[in-house]
Amino acid sequence: MSAVTADVSDDRGGRAASGPAGGGFAGAFASEWTKLWTLRTPYVCLLVGLVVTSVFTFYYGSIARINDKPVQPVGNASVSSVVLTQFALVILAMTTVTSEYATSSVRTSLLWVPVRARVQLAKALLSALVGFVTAMVWAVLGIALAWVPFRGHAEFELPKVAYQAVAMGVYAALICVLTVGVSFALRTAAGAMAMVFFLVTALPGMLVGLGGPVLLAVNDYLPQTAGGYFMLGDGKAPFPDAVSLLILLVWAVAAQVAGLLVLRRRDA
């Protein structure tokens, strides 16, 4: 009996020694992927964004024709729609964090993946991936729908169309990363949504409304304004497109750092 017990113990010990110690980052990402698509919110967000893109871009093309606007890249219609559709992705990214805090299931997530930075990075990467792919799909759809009502008031140049579609994807991905960081820092859906809305939309509107060279210069460095320059890529920005992208990246990283500091210092 003792020999059998020893063999079993050795077998278990061998499996423990040779088996993986955990899923690592790939396991954390797979877990976040599964959790995201078991919720209803992401599907609603994607559907709403699809509908808003369709309506907005068709309307944009129609208005450009009716008002006899100068010929412009057809992708401008999709870029302009981001002002609204980005919030569908903001809510989706925010949900990956705040839904767990609302139900206290974040404690379970941190038990499964005790390296807190890994949890945050997995959520950020997942949100960025979904945002990038989704925004590119919306961009292509918007271009197709806007082309007909434009009726001669738009031009289709494949390099420009490709640039604007990819730029929309990059912008959406970085806004999602920013949102995840803010959500970890504030932990509530209301707080995170209010902060992102203020930073992305309300603050630029206030600065432009107040006017003045200083406030307008500050506005150029806010996420939505710099992102708009980057997505349009028309050479009218006060700095090169690469600098616009760098500004977006800095905002996203800063939000992630703030979220990580809170995640590490406060109990779940």
Q: What is the pLDDT of residues 4-56, one digit of tens each?
A: 443 433 333 433 344 445 578 999 999 999 999 999 999 999 999 999 999 99
Q: How many CB atoms lie within 10 A of CB 268?
A: 16
User: Does residue 7 sit within a domain?
Assistant: no
pLDDT of residue 214: 96
| pLDDT tens digits along 94-147 | 999 999 999 999 998 888 888 999 999 999 999 999 999 999 999 999 999 999
Q: What is the DSSP string of 95-162?
A: HHHHHHHHHTTHHHHHHHS--HHHHHHHHHHHHHHHHHHHHHHHHHHHHHHHHHHHTTSEE--HHHHH
pLDDT of residue 150: 94
pLDDT of residue 62: 95
User: Does residue 36 sit within a domain?
Assistant: yes
User: Does residue 157 sit within a domain?
Assistant: yes
User: Does residue 94 sit within a domain?
Assistant: yes
User: Does residue 2 sit within a domain?
Assistant: no
Band the pLDDT of 203: cuts 50, 70, 90: very high
**Rounded CA Rg of the chain:** 23
CA distance 142 to 136: 10
Is 0.75 surpassed by the pTM of this model? yes
Mean of all residue pLDDT scores within the chain: 91
CA distance 115 to 84: 35
| Residues in CB range of 226: below 8 A, 6 or more apart | 220, 244, 247, 248
| Residues in CB range of 182: below 8 A, 6 or more apart | 94, 192, 195, 196, 255, 258, 259
Band the pLDDT of 77: cuts 50, 70, 90: very high
Q: Is 195 exposed, middle or buried (0-12, 13-18, 19+ CB in 10 A)?
A: middle
How many independent structural domains does the chain possess? 1
User: Does residue 12 sit within a domain?
Assistant: no
User: Does residue 208 sit within a domain?
Assistant: yes
As a whole-number percent, the residues of the chain with pLDDT over 90 amount to 83
- Are 183 and 192 contacting, i.e. CB atoms less than 8 angstroms apart? yes
Tell me the mean pLDDT in the region 67-91: 95
Indicate if the pLDDT at residue 87 is higher than 90.
Answer: yes
pLDDT of residue 22: 54
pLDDT of residue 23: 73
Higher pLDDT: 21 or 171? It is 171
What is the token pair recorded at 247? Answer: 């500004």
pLDDT of residue 266: 86
User: Does residue 147 sit within a domain?
Assistant: yes
Indicate if the pLDDT at residue 248 is higher than 90.
Answer: yes
Tell me the mean pLDDT in the region 220-239: 95
As a whole-number percent, the residues of the chain with pLDDT over 70 amount to 91
- The CA-based dihedral angle spanning residues 115, 116, 117, 120, taken in that order and rounded to the nearest 10 degrees: 130
pLDDT of residue 241: 95
Per the structure, the complete domain to which residue 157 belongs is given by 23-265
